[in-house]
Structure 1
């Protein structure tokens, strides 16, 4: 009895197939959500490293505990201003890179 060889796929191939090709709205939305999720996890880790509660961080930033919770669970509803305030309150350095065509513009 012959065994059938299984076809393997890369992660990129699976994303292209099930989410959409790079440059499509679906893929852009997916990549954006993924980055925002990582950003929220970074905020939570930095807060915990500083031994702050969500309520304490909220007071430092000038927002309610619920907003910190939302930010940590999905940063896509936050403004850049709020994110910068959170990292400043955490005494964390944050850098943004903006790519214009083939050139990077660094914002510190």
Structure 2
């Protein structure tokens, strides 16, 4: 019986790195991880979704959406969430003749 690496299985089922399907999968996975980190940290800080929402000026429903799928949220909202949770955020944008660090 032949064994396969995780990378081989992902390439076969999702697509090779750099393909649209793989890029979409990687993006959705990252957004899920961000949502889980927000939820876990909020709970560790003993905050409800409603309380976190009030801290950043959004409804409880938006906090729920962010925690369950952070893919359709603005950078501004994410920054406010992380600031309210006292998290350090670093965002770096690099273009050929331009580089900026946010956070």
Fold shared by both chains (TM-score > 0.5): yes
Residue 77 of structure 2 corresponds to residue 85 of structure 1: no
1:59 aligns with 2:54: yes
For 1:3, the equivalent position in structure 2 comes to: none
| Structure 2: gaps spanning 5 or more residues | none
Aligned runs of 1:89-108 on 2, under 5 Å?
89-98=84-93, 106-108=101-103
Question: Equivalent residue for 1:44?
Answer: 39
Match of 1:31 among 26, 32, 52: 26
Q: Which ranges of structure 1 fall in alignment gaps of 5 or more residues?
A: 1-5
Q: CA RMSD in A?
A: 1.7
Superposed displacement of residue 97, structure 1: 4.0
Q: Aligned with 1:9: secondary structure?
A: coil
Q: Which has the larger radius of gyration?
A: 1
Matched, 1:10 2:5: yes
Q: When the two structures are aligned, how many residues end up with a matched partner? A: 101
